[in-house]
Amino acid sequence: MFGPGNIGNASPAGEDWIPRKFRDIERYILELNASIALSIGPVVKRANDTLDTVNATVVTVNNTIATVTALSAHVDDTLVNIDSTVQASIRANSMTTAAIQSLVANPPAGSHVTGNVSATGTVTATGAVSGATGTFGSGVASTGVYTTLLTYGGGYKAQYVHVDGTMGYVPSSRQFKQDITPTTLDPALLTALQLVTFRYIDAVDNLGDQAETELGLIAEDVDALGLHWLVDYDSDHKPTGLKYERLALLVIPWAQSIEARLAALEG
């Protein structure tokens, strides 16, 4: 068996040494090729396997790049769609300033507000206005009330305004009263009242000398006589007005006293 480094060790005897050397070299080369093939083969195989792995990795990377590219395109398309969807939603659910101002100036029929509504300007209604309560700090005026005649039949009542601004009437039925006790009044109270003429300050401010001269009583004077039930008071209990319709109550004791005097004279 020949191996590298033992050329000619097994050459047949008696041959010429030169041809023998050539044959030894030839055998050496053949054996060397086989040895190289045995040594290099696994390396080549590993290199080929590595190349196969690299190629597979390249394919995977290319596939991943393609997937990422497709995903990026899909994201771009989605963003475009989101933008158009959002814009469409904004257009469908938004109002311009002009549209809002138009709705405020001309609310649509059937409009309903569940919370409080405040207005700093004038509020005008061409139809009926209804509600449970209402407060008007500077006054209430109705030309319709002024021109309405109550001559169409049925009962009617005197209307009063409470010191807190509430409007209503004062009932006289027994069902609303308690501690009912017969009483009398001094007939002289009727003659103690002092009638005066006067003009209202506001009327003079507005009309000057054309302001009307009025006839009546002074609330403070009536209060001084102790006739509190004839006087209207404000929230500080200061006299502000009179219940002129109650003056008729003073006529009762006055008429009774005259009747008694006549009876005494006739008797």
pLDDT, tens digit, 9 for 90 and up, residues 106-143: 777 777 777 787 777 787 777 788 878 777 777 777 78
In a domain, 135, yes or no: no
What does each C-alpha distance from 166 to 74, 138, 159, 257 come to in angstroms? 71, 14, 11, 39
Q: Mean pLDDT across the chain, nearest whole number?
A: 82
The predicted model scores a pTM of 0.49
Tell me the C-alpha distance between 185 and 249, whole Å.
9
Q: Tally the residues of the chain.
A: 267
Is 6 part of any domain? yes
> What is the residue-wise DSSP string for 122-143?
----SS----S----TT----H
| Domain span at 228 | 178-266
In a domain, 132, yes or no: no
Q: Is residue 4 domain-shared with residue 96, that is, in the same domain?
A: yes
Which pLDDT score is estimated for 1?
46
pLDDT digits (tens, 9 = 90+) for 177-191: 999 999 888 888 888
pLDDT higher for 267 or 7? 267
Residue 225 lies in a domain: yes
Query: Residue 158: inside a domain, yes or no?
Result: no
pLDDT tens, position by position, 213-254: 999 999 999 999 999 999 999 889 999 999 999 998 888 988
Using the 3D structure, point to which of 70, 100, 130 is the last residue of a domain.
100
Last residue within a domain, chosen from 100, 132, 147? 100
Q: 8-28 as b/e, with b when 16 or more CB fall inside 10 Å?
A: eeebeeeeeeeebeeebeeeb
The total domain count for the chain is 2
Of 60, 80, 100, which marks where a domain is finished?
A: 100
Mean pLDDT of 154-176: 86
Residue 167 neighbours by CB distance under 10 Å: 9
> What CATH number should be reported for the domain holding residue 182?
1.10.10.10
Asked if residue 18 belongs to a domain, the reply is yes
Q: Which of 8-17, 72-81, 178-187 has the highest mean pLDDT?
A: 178-187
Closest CA to 199 of 207, 189, 187: 207
Amino acid at residue number 250: L
Is 125 within a domain? no
Instruction: Reply yes or no on whether the pLDDT at 37 is more than 70.
Output: no
Residue 94 falls inside a structural domain: yes
